[in-house]
Amino acid sequence: MKHLLPLFASDFYFQMDWQGQKLAEQIMQVMLLVFAVVSFGAGYVLGSFQMMMLVYAGGVTLTALITIPNWPFFNRHPLKWLDLSEAEKHPKPQVAVSSKKKSTKK
Amino acid sequence: MHSFGHRLNGLLTFSVTILAIMCAIASLSDNLNTPSPTADIKIMNINWFQKQPQGNDEVSLTMNISADLQSLFTWNTKQLFIFVAAEYETPKNSLNQVSLWDAIIPAKEHAKFWIHTSNKYRFVDQGNNLRGKKFNLTLHWHVMPKTGKMFADKIVMAGYSFPEEYR
């Protein structure tokens, strides 16, 4: 699929948008904390340290599967990038070297 | 977060940090346990009691050690290390401790036991002070955890003594 897109566009098309990144981070933190509490509770009540480790490991794996890949539901507010043909019509912004030096010498 | 690598790194570090906190709490939970261990040691026989060529006393004895240490186990216990030590006083040392026997108990089911054994390690004095000497036999245990703090304690059994003469 990626080879059908213009050059470098695949880096933008298969990533998350800003809202998606925030959502991914929140989901990850909440899920890990919940699994920590659940696995500790299960291990303590059952008297089994191994049970706590197994439930927690399962929880970390599940969290990884949900939050790490670029699922579509993380891209519901996609960024609208300017078309390549449209961008070339306008001059690129110049970096003013002399003004930079003045501001840092304050 | 920004990219696949960022999210993976964040998830791994956060999950390991939480794991460390869980282990710390698990170790603290060991303090909630109130153990009630019991033990009894009978000396069945003094096999021999001699003075070595170097001048030190040596004794060999057969003991019957019985104990119920099941209440020491918690969910966070890996194993129990126990040893029996003979303790006595001499003019040279205010306390002598000689380890006679030890064992590792890997599970709660094995913690209620009795064993008929001679001393695993040689009982040699620093000198020749043992004739007629009174001594204690102490059962020490170390509760080795899966994670966190190790607890150690003992039961002192007094009232044992050596024969007056070598045999």
Domains in chain A, number? 1
Question: What backbone phi and psi angles, to 5 degrees, belong to B49?
Answer: -145, 100
Task: Tell whether ipTM is more than 0.95.
Answer: no
Amino acid in the structure at residue B118: S
Give the three-state DSSP class for B39: strand
Residues B151 and B146: their CA atoms lie apart, in Å, by 12
Region of residue B132 (left: phi > 0; alpha: psi -120 to 50; beta: else):
left
Q: What is the pLDDT of residues B104-141, one digit of tens each?
A: 999 999 999 999 999 999 999 998 888 899 999 999 99
Concatenating the DSSP letter of every residue in chain A gives -GGGSPTTHHHHHTS--HHHHHHHHHHHHHHHHHHHHHHHHHHHHHT-HHHHHHHHHHHHHHHHHHHSS--GGG-SS---PPPHHHHHTSPPPPP-HHHHHHHHT-
Share above pLDDT 70 across residues of chain A, in percent, rounded to a whole number: 76
Chains A, B: CB pairs < 8 Å: 57
Query: Which residues of A fall within a CB distance of 8 Å from B4?
Result: 68-70
**A49 is a domain residue:** yes
pLDDT band at B12; cut points 50, 70, 90: very high
**A8 is a domain residue:** no
Identify whether the C-beta of residue B78 lies closer than 8 Å to the C-beta of residue B142: no
Query: Which residues of B fall within a CB distance of 8 Å from A24?
Result: 1, 7
Nearest to A67 among B7, B22, B75 (CB): B7
Q: Is the pLDDT of residue A64 over 60?
A: yes
Nearest to B14 among A29, A46, A68 (CB): A29
Best residue in A51, A60, A63 for a mutation probing chain B (most B CBs within 10 Å): A60
Length of chain B: 167
Query: Residues near A30 by Cβ (< 8 Å), separated by ≥ 6?
Result: none
Nearest to A68 among B2, B7, B76 (CB): B7
**A99 is a domain residue:** no
Give the domain range for residue A64.
Answer: 15-79
Q: What is the pLDDT of residues B66-90, one digit of tens each?
A: 999 999 999 999 999 999 999 999 9
Do B22 and A36 count as a contact with CB atoms less than 8 A apart?
A: yes
**A35 is a domain residue:** yes
- DSSP bridge partners of B84: B101, B139
pLDDT at B113 (0 to 100): 94
Q: What is the DSSP letter of A76?
A: S
Q: What is the DSSP letter of B76?
A: T
Do B75 and A60 count as a contact with CB atoms less than 8 A apart?
A: no
Sequence-ordered strand ranges (E) for B11-111: 38-51, 57-68, 77-88, 96-105
Q: Is the pLDDT of residue A98 over 80?
A: no
pLDDT band at B142; cut points 50, 70, 90: very high
**A102 is a domain residue:** no
Query: Which residues of B fall within a CB distance of 8 Å from A27?
Result: none
Chain B interface with A: residues with Cβ < 8 Å: 1-4, 7-8, 10-11, 14-15, 18-19, 21-22, 25-26, 29, 75-76, 146-147
Best residue in B2, B9, B13, B18 for a mutation probing chain A (most A CBs within 10 Å): B18
| Spacing of C-alpha B157 from chain mean position | 14
**A40 is a domain residue:** yes
pLDDT band at A7; cut points 50, 70, 90: low
Q: Which two tokens stand for residue B152?
A: 């150690």
Query: Which residues of A fall within a CB distance of 8 Å from B18?
Result: 32-33, 36
User: How much is the mean pLDDT over chain B?
Assistant: 93
Nearest to B75 among A24, A49, A70 (CB): A49
**A56 is a domain residue:** yes
Residues B122 and B161: their CA atoms lie apart, in Å, by 17
Q: Dihedral sign for Cα A83, A85, A90, A93, please.
A: positive
Residues B154 and B39: their CA atoms lie apart, in Å, by 10
Do B18 and A63 count as a contact with CB atoms less than 8 A apart?
A: no
